[in-house]
Amino acid sequence: MSGDWRIETVGAVRALIETAAPGVTEEAKWRKASNPDGVPTFALDGLICTVETYKDKVKVTFAKGASLDDPDGVFNASLDAGTRRAVDIREGDTLDAGAFAALIRRAVDYNQS
C-alpha cells in the first residue's frame, strides 16, 4: 500500500475490526504483480470483510453486507449489489467508529447464525 493517508485509514479500520470482533483473523489474499501485498481479509466463522486501497479511497467490502441491517447508514457503496455492501472512505472523511463497529458485530453474528 502507498505511504499516505490510506495507510493510517487502513490501520484505524483494522483496529476497529479487531476490537469489535475479538478472535478475528486477518489474512492477505489475492496477491498479484500489481498488488504484491494482497488484499487484507478479515474472518470470524466466515468472511467478514475485505479492505482495499484505491487511488482516491479505502474500500471496506462486507461479504454478506446485503443481509445486514444498517440503521446508521454506514454503507455508502455497492448498494445495488446482490450480496455485498461497501464503505468507501475518502481522504478527510470521518468514519463513525461506533456505527462501524456495530456493523462488524452484525456481520459476525450473521456468520455465526
Q: pLDDT tens digits, residue range 18-69?
A: 999 999 999 999 998 888 889 999 999 999 999 999 999 999 999 999 999 9
Burial class (CB in 10 A: 0-12, 13-18, 19+), 18: middle
64 near 106, Cβ under 8 Å?
no
The pLDDT score that the predictor gives to residue 1 is 45
Chain position carrying cell 453474528: 109
- Looking at residue 35, what is its pLDDT? 83
- Give yes or no for residue 2 having a pLDDT over 80: no
Q: Summarize pLDDT for 85-113 with one digit per residue, the tens.
A: 999 999 999 999 999 999 999 999 999 99
Check whether 83 has a pLDDT greater than 50: yes
SS3 state at 105: helix
User: Per-residue pLDDT for 3 more than 80?
Assistant: no
Please report the pLDDT score of residue 36 as a whole number. 87
Q: What are the backbone angles phi and psi of residue 77, rounded to the nearest 5°?
A: -150, 160
